[in-house]
Amino acid sequence: MSSFFISGCKNAEIKENNPSSFKGDVYDNKSQSNEAGAKNTSKDNAGITKSQNLSKSVGWIYPPELDTHRTLAQHSNVALDSDKNILYTTNFEGILTAIDAATGKVAGEYKFSDMGMDSVEIVELGVHPNGNIYAYDFGNSKVLVINPHGELQHAIPFEPNENFIMTVPKFIFAKNGLVYFGGQDGKVYCIDEKGNIIWNVLIGKNKDTNSIQPVTELCISNDEGLIIAVSSFTEYNPVYGIDARTGEIKWEYINPKFKYVSYMTKDGFNNIILAANDPKQSDIWYSTDPDAPDPPFDKINTIIGGSIILLDSNGNENSILEIPNEVGIELVKPDPLHKRLIAICSTYVKEKSLLSPYFLFIADYEGNIIKGKSVDMSMEVLAYESEDNILVDGDCIYVGSDDGLKKFDIDGNLTDTYDIVTDKKIETRIYQTDPGEKAIYLTGTGEQISDEQGRSLRIFKYYYGETVSEDEIEPLTDEELNKIPN
């Protein structure tokens, strides 16, 4: 039996309604053996038939046909307004598209060139409760504020940075109307609805090298009094707690071992949750140095590369759950209903070739591991780095993957894989969810447009609450059967 590790716990007591620390001393993997029986709906014709009928749960696809006339943007962005009525995307180069969330029909198309903006490169979208669209324009080093009619209202500048990355944190829209975003210039910005910068504060300057790194993660406390931010890219800086009203830095935190924070969120129990990794393990397993020694594959079951860290609102470390058998942790999503934490972790396995797969990891707040990894498992989950890519609904977990939409039970056992497109596999990512309608908005890539244009990227609205009984399964037509790859 493997060991379960706890370190740095300052508060071992757990209050029944406020789980804020892990405890326990046993690595209790309750469901490793269930993977052999996981159902894959694409193994045979019967599975393909089922997948074909599951496509009835696809409400709409945008664009409805593969688009051969427009150029795909370099980055996929999808944002849903607060009323769940309009979906915005910049998937096509130079265009902001508004899509009716109910029908999938285009409600408006707005060219950035008509707004006086050229060389636009949008890497993040968000929609303010007032209806305005916020677009992070890497090409012009500006955040663009666009009204629902496609008119540019404000362009908030931030400084370019040679140490850039092409992903940024999501916009945060507070109840008082203020907006927060993290810049490539290592600063956290607070702006009002009129586009005025209320404050900005530099958190990305490394204290040892003085180099400035981009803001990589951002979240807001439950009472919206605190912004929590980190710049953790090629250099590892502290997590900062910032007064949301004034921009004053209230505290900072860095773990001496797990310095690299890959993801940050909060739960309903006033915990700040960090997905934090050990850079030494990252250097061993992800080294690009051709002269570096091979990683110690025979010791993978003793590796502890990642952890889940809980902080209180004052930046005090409540507890750490060190994750065994994993090289690192990518993201973590709290499940308040079951008082659990669902993470996606990465590891290495040797099969026909070397794989770096991603796995579900589930633990409760007492530190009991519900779902861990067995070393000989094949690739199960590959997630986009956003907790939107994990949907927890009741006792089911849905995750986008390179092998379709995957469904797990609440203990992390794979129960189904849904092929969104009936005649081929496509990679899916969950970008937005509407649990009230039991709908998931997915992006899917993998459909070939042409040899010259490569693969497509389309948006799918999928109703995950619908099921298909055996009596409802219809046989495939000859034409549909001919589309099935041999």
Residue ranges covered by each domain of the chain: 75-165+168-254
Say if residues 395 and 434 touch (Cβ distance below 8 Å). no
Burial class for 92, CB neighbours closer than 10 Å (0-12, 13-18, 19+): middle
Say if residues 446 and 424 touch (Cβ distance below 8 Å). yes
Beta pairing partners, 181: 189
- This prediction has a pTM of 0.82
Cα angle value 145/90/95 (rounded, 5°): 80
Residue 91 to residues 235, 351, 457, Cα–Cα distance (Å): 31, 36, 8
Q: Over the stretch 415-457, which tens digit does the pLDDT of each residue have?
A: 888 877 655 667 778 888 888 889 999 887 766 665 665 567 8
pLDDT at 92: 81
Name the average pLDDT for the chain. Answer: 78
Q: What is the CATH number of domain 75-165+168-254?
A: 2.130.10.10
Q: How far apart are CA 218 and CA 224, in angstroms?
A: 13
30 vs 457, residue with greater confidence: 457
pLDDT at 230: 95
pLDDT at 453: 57
pLDDT at 351: 52
- Mean pLDDT for 202-209 is 89
Share of residues in the chain with pLDDT > 70 (%): 74
pLDDT over 70 (residue 73): no
pLDDT over 60 (residue 6): no
Q: How far apart are CA 70 and CA 449, in angstroms?
A: 11
Q: How far apart are CA 333 and CA 390, in angstroms?
A: 7
Quickly count: other Cβ atoms within 10 Å of residue 151's Cβ: 12
Asked whether the CA dihedral 438, 443, 444, 448 is positive or negative, the reply is: positive
